[in-house]
Amino acid sequence: MSQVNPKLLIALAVVILFAVYLKVSNPHRKFSTQKYWADATLHSVAEVPDEALEPGNKNGGVLMWAAMAVEDPQIIEALVARGAEVNEADTIFKGTPLTGAAGYSSNPAVIDKLIDLGADINQLVNNGEDALMIAAQYNHHGPVVERLIHHGADTERKNSRGMRAEDLAIKNNNQPAIKVFQARSDKAGQAGQRYGL
């Protein structure tokens, strides 16, 4: 019978203790996941402990994750009413609820609700991109891009690589976003022709 290497037993014990530490030190992690919010209801908002809604908690911005997954703007409103910060940025990417929704929500009413609640449409993430730039790259729902522009997103702002939202849509072959930008250009061209510009 062969003996078990004591170093392996120690390594296994360290891994187990680390896993337990992560679970204990971050008890509300499930509320900061898209999975939790994918099928959320207003009742789901009531389940979130107050501690998990505090800015700077270990879980990350609950509202950002909710904004990326929910289709019901009432859930966004209920989270803010409970104390979630509408402009809280995560510590790694500096993503906000609005940039999360811009990238992943298919409901333009979520964009409207976040902005109505005070979301900063011009806030930048860590690579110098704003909500419109993120939508132009990742969101394949043209109405979301339209709503951001409607609310005053700067279509001429450039990111840290010198690219505008329209450039990013083209680079990523995001056809719904490209169509929104083309329609805006067509309207501007028609207005210019009408007024001799």
Q: Are 165 and 142 in contact (CB under 8 A)?
A: no
pLDDT at residue 154, rounded to an integer? 97
Q: Domain residues for 87?
A: 30-194
Q: Determine the Cα–Cα distance for residues 130 and 145; give it in Å rounded to an integer.
A: 12
Residue 21 lies in a domain: no
pLDDT at residue 18, rounded to an integer? 61
pLDDT in tens, 41-66: 899 889 988 888 877 766 667 777 77
Opening angle at CA 39, ends 34 and 42, nearest 5: 105
> Could you give the number of structural domains in the chain?
1
Residue 110 lies in a domain: yes
pLDDT in tens, 65-119: 777 788 899 999 999 999 888 998 887 788 899 999 999 999 999 999 999 999 9
User: Domain holding 155: CATH number?
Assistant: 1.25.40.20
Residue 159 lies in a domain: yes
Residue 14 lies in a domain: no
Residue 9 lies in a domain: no
pLDDT at residue 191, rounded to an integer? 46
Amino acid residing at 56: G
What percent of the chain clears pLDDT 90, i.e. is strictly above it? Answer: 49
Q: Determine the Cα–Cα distance for residues 130 and 122; give it in Å rounded to an integer.
A: 6
Q: Average pLDDT for residues 25-30, to the nearest whole number?
A: 71
**What is this structure's pTM?**
0.79
